[in-house]
Amino acid sequence: MKIPLFPLPSIFFPGETVPLHIFEERYKQLINDCRNEAITFGIPVFINNKMEFGTEVQLVEVVNTYDNGEMDVVCVARQVFKLLTFDNKMDGKLYAGGIVKLMEYDYNANDEKKQTILDGIRQLYTMMDVPFKGYAVSAFNSFTLAHKIGLSPEQEYQLLQLPKENDRLNFIGLHLTATITVLSEVERTKKIIELNGHFKNFDPLDFKDLKM
């Protein structure tokens, strides 16, 4: 299908709230078209100097409209798409558009696996001394905290492209394990450094039985 496009170097996951400040004329036109025609638009991710995947979003609310026509808007991310074609301007419009293929995603995973991921996130937050309010297993999926576990933009982009929930949870689990391991080593190193300069009792080595 062909939809309007609003390229950004940002990654939005399905179900996520997307706040945007609109200031360019072409995107003012886009938001007004969304309001008047109830259309959705796509945010293709501009990363590594190319665009291949993105997320379809729907306008929820225009929060503020300024005297110069700029707007603060809130959208919600819906479905991931693969970008097939890109036109710098849609016919008769200022904004871009293109043909996209909506990806089929599933969110099926057992509660035990989801709880393991939540426990890992809680451990990570505890190590960083960051409050973690917790989530019910039933209300949690791979995208719920994807922006808040230290993934790089490249890793978030990889996660966005995985259609199966189990694969996404495994991806997050590997990241958590690696990050927690690194933080554990940092903490151990910190403790060793803190010991430097303290007086310690060392048992002298006994060389009498040493054979050369």
Both 46 and 97 in a single domain? yes
pLDDT of res. 83: 98
Using one digit for the tens of pLDDT, what is the confidence trace for 84-126? 999 999 999 999 999 999 999 999 999 999 999 999 999 999 9
Both 86 and 177 in a single domain? no
Both 34 and 70 in a single domain? yes
Both 85 and 155 in a single domain? no
Q: Is residue 212 part of a domain?
A: no
Both 91 and 116 in a single domain? no
Task: Tell me the residue range of the domain where 11 lies.
Answer: 2-102
Q: Is residue 210 part of a domain?
A: no
Token pair recorded at residue 50: 């190319």
State how many domains the chain has: 2
Both 61 and 130 in a single domain? no
Q: Is residue 29 part of a domain?
A: yes
Q: Which residue has the tokens 């360019």?
A: 24
Both 47 and 83 in a single domain? yes
pTM for this prediction: 0.84
- 203 pLDDT higher than 70: no
Both 83 and 143 in a single domain? no
- 211 pLDDT higher than 90: no
Both 156 and 75 in a single domain? no
Q: Is residue 207 part of a domain?
A: no
Both 15 and 86 in a single domain? yes
Mean pLDDT of the chain: 91
Both 68 and 128 in a single domain? no
Using one digit for the tens of pLDDT, what is the confidence trace for 150-191? 999 999 999 999 999 999 999 999 999 999 999 888 877 777
pLDDT of res. 198: 54
Q: What CATH number does the domain containing 12 carry?
A: 2.30.130.40
Reported confidence tier of residue 202, pLDDT bands at 50, 70, 90: low
Beta-bridged to residue 74, according to DSSP, are: 19, 61
Both 59 and 80 in a single domain? yes
Q: Is residue 51 part of a domain?
A: yes
